[in-house]
Amino acid sequence: MTIRTETSEGVARIEIARPEKKNAITGEMYLALAEAVHAAQADPAVRAVVLHGARDIFTAGNDLDDFLQAAGQREDPPVFRFMSALTAIDKPVVVAVNGPAVGIGTTLLLHCDLVYCADDAVFSMPFVSLGLCPEFASSLLVPLNAGYRRAAEKLLLGEPISAEEAVEMGIVNRILAPADVLSYALRQAARFNSLPPGAVRASKRLLKSGWAAAIERQIGEESARFAERLASPEAKEAFRAFFERRKPDFSRFD
């Protein structure tokens, strides 16, 4: 299994477990992630969710082979099912990040509640370099949390984000030693067992409600632009260069 789940003592644990492919996520994996989040939401014994990857990598983002093969084949892509489940769950979602978190690996964090990372974690949103554009309200939430100019560095130039910068930008709560990240996240999630669950859920809804409509609108706008960009000559050149292991040439585009 590439997505592993386990529920114990009020905490639903969801693991991205495809280390041989740097935890790159396929459509099938997105569906399994969506199912795991829905199951946690429906289980009255679950008070919180912990999402994590491997000790050396959170996720390399989309599996590009799978991503390109499936592009445009269905109206409800699996990644949307997962992100819809993630944004809808009213129980706390705690994330443990070790190593790289690329693309969706960073943008999904913007919709979670508590994020803890290792001091070797590196975050990146290289959409523009692939001829694409930001996704899942990152073009709204990153500047909202970090300011426009820092967001421009990370989303326009695709500059990597260190663990320290991620804290400054409001993406991460706290930095820990690599060996301690998951255990700390699990302890934080377990704290919700001693809190009134109705109050936690109501408070989470209130914390997110002020931006909910704007986030939904931004996701819709980004999705339309993303689909356009995916079919563009620039994106085709970027992906061709990636698979040919060369630098893309955008000099002929205007």
Q: Which domains does the chain have, with CATH numbers?
A: 3-176 (3.90.226.10)
Please give the mean pLDDT across all residues of the chain. 96
Can you give the pTM of this predicted structure? 0.96
Q: Is the predicted pLDDT of residue 92 greater than 80, yes or no?
A: yes
pLDDT at 199 over 70: yes
Task: Give me 126's structure tokens.
Answer: 């290289």
pLDDT grade for 74, boundaries at 50, 70 and 90: low
pLDDT band at 72 (very low <50, low <70, confident <90, very high): low
Give residue-wise pLDDT tens across range 117-161: 999 999 999 999 999 999 999 999 999 999 999 999 999 999 999
The whole-number average pLDDT for the span 195-205 is 98
- Find the mean pLDDT for residues 212-222: 96
How far is C-alpha 51 from the geometric centre of its chain's CA atoms? 10
DSSP string covering 16-34, please? Answer: E--GGGTTPBPHHHHHHHH
